[in-house]
Structure 1
C-alpha cells in the first residue's frame, strides 16, 4: 500500500467524478507505465506540484478500491496477441469501482495509441455476455480490424484487485493513476499472486510527457513494459510466452 502521509494528498485540490468525466476526454491516449516500490511511489506523490494537480475524491475518499475481471478465450488469444505484439491486439475486461460504477471495457491499439471503449452497466450476468455486451464487444473489435471476434469463447480469465489514487494534471489534461495493494487471481487455475510492496504509476496523455513523467524521470524511473493482465498472467504461468515483459518479470516478480 502507499504509505505517504496524509499531508501529500491534503495539499492537492480535489475534483469529483462528474467534473473529471466532464473534462476534456482523452479518448485516444498514449500510456506510460512505471513499476516501482510503494515507497518510491509515495515519494513521487509527496513531490507532485499542488498548483497544477487535482486529486479525485469520491465520498470523502481518495484511495479507492478497484476490481477488474479480464476475459479471454481458452487458448488465451488476447494474451498471445499482446505477447507477440500483434497489430490488432485487444483487451476486454469488466471494471467495478468502490464508488459503485460498473463498466464493460474493450481496449484496442490503433497507430501506437490505446483506444478505450466503455459500456456502462453489468454485462456478465452468468459468466457470459448479455446481448448488449456481446454486440458491443463484437462491433468494437470489428471496428478495430479484428476478424471473426471470438465472442462466444470469451470467459473470465484473470481477476485483479487494487487501490487507486487518480490525479489530473491540469495544464495538459493528462490523467495519472497510482495503483497499490496489487493482488491477482487466475480464474482458470485458482492460483494467485500478491505484490503489496509494488506500485504501478500510469500516465495517460495526448502525446507529450506530463508533469508526472518528468518528475519520475528526474527520480531515475523510466517507463516499463507492463500489463496488469498479461504480465501477471505470465508471472503465474512461466510456460506462457513473455518476451515482451521479461525485464519487468525478472526485476519485480
Structure 2
C-alpha cells in the first residue's frame, strides 16, 4: 500500500457492499484497538489475511477519502477529559465522505468496561462546519450517557482531520478492520502530515480479531492514539499529553512528520486557546 492506494493483496480480496457490511458488522458498541504502523508493515499484514476476508467496495473503489471536523469548547473540555482519562468523556464531530458527499454528525462516548459507543445522525453536508442543526441530538446523547452539564457546553470547530480509509470485514469474528493512510491534521493555519504511517484499527465485540493476533505475533501492540487528541497535542505542544506521549514521541515528533502552514485551509476551524489543568472540573460543573 502506497500513498493510500491498495496493493495487489488488497485487490485480490473479494468485495463486500456497504449495506451488507452494515448489516453484518455495524458494531456501534465495540472494543477498538489501534495500531500505528509503517506502511510496509501494512503491506505485510495484507499478504497474511485469511482468504475469506472481504474488502468494502463501492462503485469499484476500495479506498475512500474522509474529512472529519471535531468540535470542542474554547477551553478544550473534550480534549482535557481524554487527557486526564476521565470516565465520562466524549467526542463530537461531523464526518464527510468525500466521494459521495454524504455527511454524518457523530457523538462518541465511553461505555461500560472501556467500550466505545458511537451514535450517528445523517447531516446536510452544507452544515458540516456547524452544530446548530444537530445540537439537540448531541445534547440528548450526552445526557443519556450522563456527561454532566453537556447541554451547557459551547462547542466550536477545533480540528480537521483528513485521510484515506480502506475497510475490511473478517467473517470469522464478525469484526471490521480499518486502514487509514495519507493522514493529515489541520489546526487553523497549521497542517501536520504523516505520509509514511498508517493507523490500523480493529473494531470487535469481546473477541480479538485475526488481524489483532497477526499483529501481536509480529510484536505490534495496540497504542494510544486518538485522531483528535493526538493530532491536537502534536500541533499544540503546550497541552497535557500523558495518554499519547509515547505515540507522539515515536510517530508524530520525528523527521517523518511534516508540519507546515497550510496553503489553502478550508476547514473553517477556529484556533481555541489551551486551558490550564485546573479548569476542567469547573468547566464540567457549570
Q: TM-score range by the shorter chain?
A: over 0.9
Distance 2:235 2:223 in 1: 19
For 2:226, the equivalent position in structure 1 comes to 227
Alpha-carbon shift at residue 130 of structure 1 (Å):
3.2
Distance 1:5 1:60 in 2: 12
User: 1:130 pairs with 122, 129, 132, which one?
Assistant: 132
For 2:118, the equivalent position in structure 1 comes to 116
* Structure 2 SS opposite 1:153: coil
CA contact (8 A) 2:94 2:129 kept: no
Deviating more after overlay: 228-237 vs 115-124: 115-124
TM-score by length of 1: 0.93
CA contact (8 A) 1:104 1:122 kept: no
CA offsets, 1:1-55, max 9 Å, x none? 636773201221100111111224312100000001111112111221122x110
* Structure 2 SS opposite 1:23: helix
Distance 1:66 1:151 in 2: 30
Output the aligned Cα RMSD. 1.7
For 2:284, the equivalent position in structure 1 comes to none
For 1:242, the equivalent position in structure 2 comes to 241
Pairs aligned (count): 249
1:217 aligns with 2:216: yes
Distance 1:128 1:11 in 2: 40
Distance 1:58 1:95 in 2: 18
For 2:79, the equivalent position in structure 1 comes to 79
Alpha-carbon shift at residue 171 of structure 1 (Å):
1.1
Distance 1:165 1:106 in 2: 22
Distance 2:182 2:57 in 1: 19
Structure 2 unaligned blocks of 5 or more: 253-286
TM-score by length of 2: 0.83
Distance 2:17 2:6 in 1: 22
Alpha-carbon shift at residue 77 of structure 1 (Å):
0.4
Structure 1 unaligned blocks of 5 or more: none
